[in-house]
């Protein structure tokens, strides 16, 4: 069973501007990749990485290699929701042989992080931005920071709330999940990875996120 840890960031005006710039840059990478999905009907993360990573790195050098990978993950995740969720109005079941619509990511889209682009140690949060690492001193319960380090980190998402405050959300899997994977045979692990890449994201409906604009094909 997964759990969610949410942390509000007490960002200064200058830090808020830097986070906004990162959010906008992240959306630009996603929007550069979206037409490829529409043309090829490919949104598996690994396949997209092979198709587009090098070009995206050259086009967006300021984003860094790992953040480009995170943008590829974001596009893959969003496409699984839009095109695979049975309740989505744009699911493949509904579209049939029609061309895929083009997805556009607004500048308000969430930014996905991983352990390479964000770290938490002794209450200090360090995260990637376009002009260097940004750090926050957090006041966390000991059990929350312990959970962060002991659990399998499924997703780390930065989003701006309606009140303008930036918030980090950590989707954590229990340590038992790590032990189960470690005890599995390699073929079983590969199968589980493949299944995760083809399933719709967990725990969400087929409603299109507000930061996604779907340009339908007539």
Q: Spell out the domain ranges in the chain.
A: 3-201+210-215
pTM recorded for the entire structure: 0.85
Q: For each of the chain's 218 residues, which pLDDT tens digit applies?
A: 788 889 999 999 999 999 999 999 999 999 999 999 999 999 999 999 999 999 999 999 999 999 999 999 999 999 999 999 999 999 999 998 889 999 999 999 999 999 899 998 888 999 999 999 999 998 888 888 787 778 888 899 999 999 999 999 999 887 665 444 344 443 433 333 334 455 555 546 678 999 999 997 65
pLDDT at position 181, please?
39
pLDDT at position 9, please?
95
pLDDT at position 177, please?
52
CA distance 85 to 80: 7
pLDDT at position 185, please?
42
CA angle 182, 151, 19 (to 5 degrees): 125
Contacts of 111 (CB under 8 A, 6+ apart): 22, 23, 26, 70, 74, 157, 158, 159
pLDDT at position 190, please?
35
3-state secondary structure of 4: strand
Contacts of 163 (CB under 8 A, 6+ apart): none
């Amino acid at each position: 069973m997964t759990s969610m840890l949410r942390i509000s960031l007490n960002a200064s005006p200058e830090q808020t501007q830097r986070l906004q710039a990162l959010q906008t840059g992240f959306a630009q990478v996603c929007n550069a990749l979206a037409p490829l999905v529409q043309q090829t009907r490919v949104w598996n993360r690994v396949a997209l990485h092979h198709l587009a990573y090098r070009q995206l790195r050259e086009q967006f050098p300021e984003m860094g290699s790992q953040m480009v990978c995170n943008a590829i993950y974001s596009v893959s995740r969003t496409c699984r929701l839009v095109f695979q969720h049975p309740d989505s109005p744009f699911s493949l079941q509904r579209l049939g042989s029609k061309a895929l619509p083009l997805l556009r990511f607004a500048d308000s889209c969430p930014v996905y992080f991983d352990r390479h682009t964000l770290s938490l140690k002794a209450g200090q949060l360090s995260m990637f931005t376009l002009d260097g690492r940004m750090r926050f001193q957090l006041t966390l319960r000991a059990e929350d920071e312990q959970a962060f380090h002991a659990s399998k980190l499924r997703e780390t998402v930065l989003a701006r709330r309606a009140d303008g405050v930036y918030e980090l959300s950590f989707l954590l899997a229990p340590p038992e999940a790590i032990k189960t994977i470690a005890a599995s045979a390699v073929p079983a692990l590969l199968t589980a990875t493949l299944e995760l890449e083809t399933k719709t994201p967990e725990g969400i409906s087929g409603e299109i996120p507000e930061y996604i604009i779907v340009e339908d094909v007539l």
